[in-house]
Amino acid sequence: MSGSEDLWGNYSLADVWVVSGPVQKKAHSSILFTSSVVLQEELKKRIRWDEKPWKITIKIKNPPDQEDTTPPEIDEGSLERFLYFMYHRRIADWGSSATTLLRLGYTYKMEELMVLCEDQFLEKLSAGNAVACLILANACDRHALKRKVADYISTNMDSVMVSKNWKKLESNLKLLGEILVTTPSDRRKRQTINEKILDAPVTWEVDTRESKFTNKSCQY
């Protein structure tokens, strides 16, 4: 076992409380410090101003286009797995935490964790979760994952379009347009997506300086 793994569960040396809402977990500042540059900066502030035990509030960064800016609370299982990864560099039991862990990895700039999450999503990818996975990959700037999921959707369009998440994609013209680009030359499938884009409400803006019309709502 590595030194970091030896510290897992050894709370006598723990000097940080990791908090999300009502959930609190003990951890070691040395592990957090070496796991994330974001956590590193947080700890530097605590070391300078606060007495031990320090307290770090774990938050998830919301996508920039999300209206609700309140960071969601992290469930206890996901917070436990997040800490487990920092000590062991793996996830022993994913449970239902893959989405939360990817968003945490994105928030705290933990590339290794995000790569593990990508592998998990691709392993479990199905018609039922493909749209949600695509939206998540887009929100977390995971371009390789986004491309692979887009390819899956375009190849399995018929089954994905009847999934309960399809309407979420219909309301996102930019992502829908990207799917159109990757969709095979099946005329019926491409026509269906084209109709979704053409049926969307369009807002026009006049630029009087150059006498040009700009379509704002359908840019992607």
Residues 125, 55: Cα–Cα separation, whole Å = 37
**C-alpha to C-alpha distance for 75 and 80, rounded to whole angstroms:** 9
Residue 11 is given by DSSP the state G
Q: Are 166 and 179 in contact (CB under 8 A)?
A: no
Of 35 and 6, more confident: 35
Q: What is the structure's pLDDT at 69?
A: 61
DSSP assignment string, 72-96:
PPPPHHHHHHHHHHHHHSS-S--TT
Tell me the chain's radius of gyration from C-alpha atoms. Answer: 22
- Look at 57 and 211; give whichever has higher pLDDT: 57
Q: Are 209 and 196 in contact (CB under 8 A)?
A: no
Does the domain made of 125-220 have the CATH classification 1.10.3720.10?
no
The residues, ordered by sequence, that sit 6+ positions from 207 with a Cβ below 8 Å of its Cβ are 213, 214
Please check the confidence at residue 202 and state whether its pLDDT lies above 70: no
- pLDDT value at 188 more than 60: no
- Indicate the SS3 state at residue 184: coil
Per-residue pLDDT, 40: 95
Predicted local confidence at residue 47, as pLDDT: 83
Displacement of CA 151 from its chain's centroid (Å): 19
Helix/strand/coil for 25 = strand
Compute the residue count for the chain.
220
Here the tokens at position 150 are 């887009």
pLDDT of residue 220: 42
Integer Cα distance of 101 and 79 in angstroms: 8
**Residue 178 CB contacts under 8 Å (≥ 6 apart), including other chains:** 150, 220
Higher-scoring residue by pLDDT: 54, 4: 54
Give the pLDDT confidence of 25-83 residue by residue, as tens digits.
999 999 999 999 999 999 998 888 877 788 999 999 876 666 556 767 899 999 999 99
Diameter of the chain by CA atoms?
A: 71
Place of tokens 């700039």: 109
CATH code for the part of the protein at 1-120: 3.30.710.10
pLDDT of residue 65: 61
Across 15-28, b (16+ Cβ under 10 Å) vs e yields ebebbbeebebbbb
Alpha helices in 50-186 (DSSP H): 76-88, 98-107, 111-123, 130-139, 143-155, 157-161, 166-170, 173-182
Q: How far is CA 215 from the centre of its chain?
A: 29
> pLDDT of 102-156, one tens digit each?
999 999 999 999 999 999 999 999 999 999 999 999 999 999 999 999 999 999 9
Q: How confident is the model at residue 217 (pLDDT cuts 50, 70, 90)?
A: very low
pLDDT, position 212: 46
Q: Where are the domains of the chain?
A: 1-120, 125-220
Q: What is the pLDDT of residue 67?
A: 58
